[in-house]
Amino acid sequence: MSGFVIAATARLAFLPYVSEDSTYFLIPWMQEFRDHGAAALSGEFSNYNFPYLLLMFLAGLLPVEPLIAIKVASLLGDALLAVSVYALAANYRTIGVSPKLAALIALFLPTVVVNASMWGQCDAIYTAFLVLSLRSLLRNDGRSAWLLWGIAFAFKLQSVFFLPALVLISLRNRYSLRFPIMAFGVWALLSLPPAFFGRSLASTFSVYINQTQEHRLVAGAANVYAWFPTATAEQGRVPALVVCGTALLMTAVAYWRGPDTTERRVLLTITVLAVCPLLLPQMHDRYFFAAEVMALLLLRHKDLFLTPWFFATTGAVVYVLYFLSNQYALPLMLGSVVQCLTVGLLFRALWRRHSGRQELRQPTIGISP
């Protein structure tokens, strides 16, 4: 319990910090709610989807200054993330640590500590639902996996990084096509409420399209395009999409050529969560967040035990660079090299038909209706 108290105390120390995101986006959004109440949902003042805006609106009712209210909403995500990691670790015993310790380690990852309490961001929320979705996949519960992914997608567009793994496992196990339809139905229902306040349907459902208008080829992420800091999205978007698509196809082949064990599902998930922000264009600083958290499942893996530490270290470097206004390109380039090596290790492990001692002693997971 003392560890969780320390985790909470560490977050309290960062609450007064005002990030650029808070200054230019989050605080003005909160002010919209305080000025106009729920009626603010009729406007296009934010490019975040409704579930997060609802949390922001509710937090705005607290008698505290806007910055603190914003961070309270985001810190709820940290608590949810700890619970989800606990639940996943309880079902994936190969992690080698107790569920309680796994949840505590997740809370102490540098990026998790800073994301909500210092930055004011909410990446822990969608990641928590992705963690629960993976838990459902390991339990062979395709319906819950897709529904939980739908909730995650309603919170953040970056949930699509998880989609290749979800689709591949679903195809291999012949899950019903109703499940993805239900998932997108959940996303639609959770996205729809602003339309009831007067916002057009086109505007309501184009929030994520508006998020893809970044003009830079890379926006602070430690990915391969950090080596081309002056390149624009227009110049590199198509080649980057081709490269990423090719890498995902190779990952699919690597997964499909071996048995469909629980461990290989975990490896597939972590790999695609890392490949997407590594190779997609227009990636922001925080987009490896889910991969960092999921990599904790490899803490005691014979060959990949360094993976969580590689992700955590590069994530911390990227965050420091953000708070230094991204003035230094070389550390980001070096970080991208570490990310590439880490993804290479994951791919190599997935490519093997068998994973040696670390492979679970269980038959291939059977086909479910």
pLDDT at residue 369, rounded to an integer: 34
In this prediction, residue 287 carries a pLDDT of 94
**Which pLDDT score, from 0 to 100, does residue 160 have?**
97
Q: Looking at residue 327, what is its pLDDT?
A: 58
Amino acid, single-letter form, for residue 305? F
* Mean pLDDT, range 51-76, rounded to an integer: 95
Residue 228 located in a structural domain: yes
Q: Please give the pLDDT value at position 328.
A: 59
Q: Report the pLDDT averaged over residues 102-113.
A: 93
Q: Is residue 203 part of a domain?
A: no
* Beta carbons of 43 and 150 less than 8 angstroms apart: no
Provide the 8-state DSSP code for 219. Answer: E
H/E run at residue 292 = helix 289-294
Per-residue pLDDT for 1 more than 90?
A: no
Structural domain count of the chain = 1
How does DSSP classify residue 353?
S
Task: For 110-146, give the DSSP string.
Answer: HHHHHIIIII---HHHHHHHHHHHHHHHHTT-HHHHH
Give the tens place of pLDDT for each residue, 8-56: 998 999 999 999 899 999 999 999 999 999 999 999 999 999 999 999 9
The band of 359, judged by pLDDT with boundaries at 50, 70 and 90, is: very low
Go through the chain and tell me how many residues it has. 369
Say if residue 100's pLDDT is above 60.
Answer: yes
Which among 295, 258, 251 has a CA at the least distance from the CA of 272?
Answer: 251
Tokens found for residue 19: 């990030």
Report if residue 136 sits inside a domain: yes
Q: Work out the pLDDT band at 358, boundaries 50, 70, 90.
A: very low
Give the angle subtended at the CA of 195 by the CAs of 145 and 23, to the nearest 5°: 80
Domain extent for 35: 2-193+211-358
Cα–Cα dist 48/169, whole Å:
29
Angle, helix 262-279 to helix 233-256, in steps of 10 degrees: 170
- pLDDT value at position 152? 98
Written as one string, the DSSP assignment of 306-331 is: THHHHHHHHHHHHHHHHHTTT--HHH
Query: Which residue, 282, 319, 265, is CA-closest to 157?
Result: 282
- Looking at residue 323, its pLDDT comes to 74
Identify the three-state secondary structure at position 369. Answer: coil
Is 367 domain-assigned? no
HSE (side-chain half, CA atoms, 13 Å) at 211? 15
Q: Dump strand ranges (E) for 220-350.
A: 283-284
Query: In this structure, is residue 366 part of a structural domain?
Result: no
Residue 361, pLDDT above cutoff 60: no
Q: How confident is the model at residue 365 (pLDDT cuts 50, 70, 90)?
A: very low
154 in any annotated domain = yes
- For residue range 142-187, what is the model confidence (pLDDT) as tens digits? 999 999 999 999 999 999 999 999 999 999 999 999 999 999 999 9
Question: Who's near 141: CB < 8 A, 6+ residues apart?
Answer: none
Helix, strand or coil, per DSSP, at residue 93: helix
What the block records as the tokens of 3 is: 């560890």
User: Residue 269 — pLDDT band, cuts 50, 70, 90?
Assistant: very high
- What was the pLDDT predicted at 322? 77
Q: How confident is the model at residue 364 (pLDDT cuts 50, 70, 90)?
A: very low
285 pLDDT higher than 90:
no
Residue 85 lies inside a defined structural domain of this protein: yes
Residue 247 CB neighbours (<10 A): 19
pLDDT bin (cut points 50, 70, 90) of residue 329 is low
Would you state the structure tokens that stand for residue 201, as one six-digit string? 């349907």
- What whole-number percentage of the chain has pLDDT above 90? 76
- Calpha distance 117→13 (Å, rounded): 8
Note the pLDDT of residue 315.
Answer: 86
Residue 360: is its pLDDT beyond 80? no
User: What distance in Å separates the CA atoms of residue 187 and residue 184, rounded to the nearest whole number?
Assistant: 5
Reported as type and span, the H/E element at residue 171 is helix 163-172
pLDDT at 225: 93
Question: Has residue 202 been placed in a domain?
Answer: no
Asked if residue 182 lies in contact with residue 153, where contact means CB atoms within 8 angstroms, the answer is: no
Quote the pLDDT of residue 368: 36
Q: Round the average pLDDT of the chain to a whole number and report it.
A: 90
**Quick check: 137 pLDDT over 50?**
yes
Average pLDDT, integer, range 323-352: 85
CA-based radius of gyration for the chain? 20
In this structure, the number of other CB atoms found within 10 A of the CB of residue 350 comes to 23
pLDDT digits (tens, 9 = 90+) for 183-242: 999 999 999 999 999 999 999 999 999 888 888 898 888 999 999 988 998 899 999 999
